[in-house]
Structure 1
Amino acid sequence: MSDDPSRLSDDHSRSMGFTEIKTWLRHRHPMLYLDRVLDYVPGVRLVSRLTVSAQIDAVAGHFPERAIYPASHLSQAFAQSGIILFQVSTSKLADDELTLVGAMNSRFFRIVTPGDTVTITITVDRLLDDAFFFSGRAVVDSTPVAAFRANLVRRKAADMGHQWW
């Protein structure tokens, strides 16, 4: 395999199971979408996976006569992939820090339905101290289902003003 760290390979492969993913994300059921991180290279890219089940509440009600995985949930899975890559490329969030989506552009090509396994590949576009710009795509069986471009910012919770929660 190549010694180029930007290429995914067995030599540079890193992965995360569901339990480890929960150490990188503050999201929990029903808002935690990623099942696995298949591979990542800090500062370069991350490949994640989610499997769509008919048992997911959002799928059961969207729509009962023809189940479709909501595009908003796919967008959130993309953002969660970015949150993980942001942290492994810089540092873990402190207890008093949050990541916020600054902006997201998305384009959807095909619906995602129960039984589909979605693979999300994201790449770093630009990485600053407290801002992360990234883009990527989601595929099912190598067929593109969505493309995204987004940015995240890292902020201290206290800097967000009065907390109503």
Structure 2
Amino acid sequence: MNTANGTEAGSPATSRTPRTLGFTELKRWLRHRHPMIYLDRVLDYEPGEFLQSLLLVSGQTDTIAGHFPERAIYPASHLTQAFAQSGIVLFQLSTTPLADDELTLIGAVQSRFVKIVVPGDVVRFDVTAESIRHRLFTFSARASVAGVPVAQFRGTLVRVGVADLGEQLW
């Protein structure tokens, strides 16, 4: 791994300057707010191609507080949300930002978790755009900690207008 920019040798970022998003800028691409923002940083991206993001796992987060307190394990459901948020950011970077009256909904999901994630881990997500068709985005991703795979994911996102969702009970 290249410690200067967090990229692995041979990744798309080695031949150019990485495009990064810090936490404050990253929040502009997500409708989520605390405690539902799972990403801490975008290391690099290429619209329509890939995105690399980080999740820093702390034992002090709300997500760890009640999840096996005697043996803190980061919930797989929250890793799934981090995968989705990485996809949401790549989808918008590849098309346009969401309008005020739009949301992204996750559709079909396939996931596999192969190793637990614990406080102190730095989870890296490598997301690849598979298909972008108007309001539909299909992507795949893998998550790793210190280069060791912890999960794989494939999902579909759809961009919808809030009015298309029917009666708004919220």
- The two structures have a TM-score, normalised by structure 2, of 0.92
Report the Cα distance in structure 1 between the residues aligned to 2:167 and 2:131, rounded to whole angstroms.
31
Answering whether residue 128 of structure 2 is matched by residue 128 of structure 1, we say no
Percent identity over the alignment?
62
Which residue identity is paired with 1:27? H
Answering whether residue 29 of structure 2 is matched by residue 24 of structure 1, we say yes
Which residue identity is paired with 1:21? L
CA contact (8 A) 1:12 1:41 kept: no
Which residue identity is paired with 2:65? A
Please give the residue correspondences for 1:129-148 in structure 2 after superposition, counting only pairs within 5 Å: 129-148=134-153
Which residue identity is paired with 1:81? S
How far the C-alpha of 1:13 sits from its partner, in A, is 1.6
Q: Say which SS state the counterpart of residue 133 (structure 1) adopts.
A: strand
CA contact (8 A) 1:13 1:39 kept: yes
Question: Structure 1: which 4+ aligned runs deviate by more than 4 Å?
Answer: none
Which residue identity is paired with 1:148? F
1:156 corresponds, among 152, 161, 168, to 161
- The two structures have a TM-score, normalised by structure 1, of 0.95
Please give the residue correspondences for 1:35-74 in structure 2 after superposition, counting only pairs within 5 Å: 35-74=40-79
Report the Cα distance in structure 2 between the residues aligned to 1:93 and 1:10, rounded to whole angstroms.
30
User: Partner residue of 2:88?
Assistant: 83
The one-character-per-residue Cα deviations of 1:28-76 (angstroms, maximum 9, x if unpaired) are 0000000000000000000000110000122121111100000000000
Q: 135-144 vs 53-62, which deviates more? A: 53-62
User: Partner residue of 1:103?
Assistant: 108
Consecutive unaligned residues of structure 2, counting only runs of 5 or more, are: 1-10
Report the Cα distance in structure 2 between the residues aligned to 1:84 and 1:9, rounded to whole angstroms.
21
Cα RMSD for the two superposed structures: 1.1
What count of residue pairs does the alignment treat as equivalent? 160
How far the C-alpha of 1:11 sits from its partner, in A, is 1.9
Answering whether residue 98 of structure 2 is matched by residue 93 of structure 1, we say yes
Report the Cα distance in structure 2 between the residues aligned to 1:164 and 1:28, rounded to whole angstroms.
20
